[in-house]
Amino acid sequence: MANYILDLRKTVGHRPLLQCAASIIIENEQGEVLLGRRTDNHKWGYSGGSIELGETVEECARRELSEEMGLTALELEFFMINSGEETHYIYPNGDEFYNVEIVYLCHRWQGEPRPQEEEFSELRFFPVQEIPEDISDPILPVLREYIMKRS
């Protein structure tokens, strides 16, 4: 599948882009959240990424989960849309984004969590009250909302 954002970057360089993304927050039977330590900024985050041309939001969320964490989502539950100034992010390579992120919860999934080495150095389940503080900046609003609704 083509990589829409990488193709755009060839034309616009590091200038800010509006990026539409889909993400999944995985929960296990104990109500713990699966997070991965990102390889680019070494902060914790959940699975997600850019929607490709012609791909549905749900297809993107499922694809990213499979690629990044080795899991298959059996059911998705809409959680929230994350957008606005707080989603602004500059990657370590200088690429700049404003994200519009559609976030799902997933309680039913299959597979064994395994990190995609290019994305995550490790994966770990956390109880909601023990979610680490060093969360990747653009997803802070989502995890604040998640913690508030789960507490």
Question: How many angstroms separate the CA atoms of 146 and 139, rounded?
Answer: 11
98: which strand partners? Answer: 18, 88
Number of domains in the chain: 1
Region 108-132: mean pLDDT is 97
User: What is the CATH classification number for the domain harbouring 99?
Assistant: 3.90.79.10
Domain for residue 13, yes or no? Answer: no
Query: Rounded to two decimals, what is the model's pTM?
Result: 0.93
The whole domain housing 60 covers: 18-150
CA 90, 65, 58, 10 torsion-angle sign: positive
pLDDT over 80 (residue 2): no
Domain for residue 10, yes or no? Answer: no
pLDDT in tens, 75-90: 999 999 999 999 999 9
Region 9-15: mean pLDDT is 93
Q: State residue 44's pLDDT score.
A: 98
pLDDT in tens, 47-78: 999 999 999 999 999 999 999 999 999 999 99
Q: State residue 107's pLDDT score.
A: 97
Domain for residue 86, yes or no? Answer: yes
Contact status, residue 34 vs residue 107, Cβ threshold 8 Å: no
Q: State residue 1's pLDDT score.
A: 40
Domain for residue 11, yes or no? Answer: no
Domain for residue 12, yes or no? Answer: no
Task: Spell out a b/e string for 37-67, using b for 16 or more CB atoms within 10 Å of the CB, else e.
Answer: bbeeeebbbbbbbbbeeebebeebbbbbbee
Average pLDDT score, the chain? 95
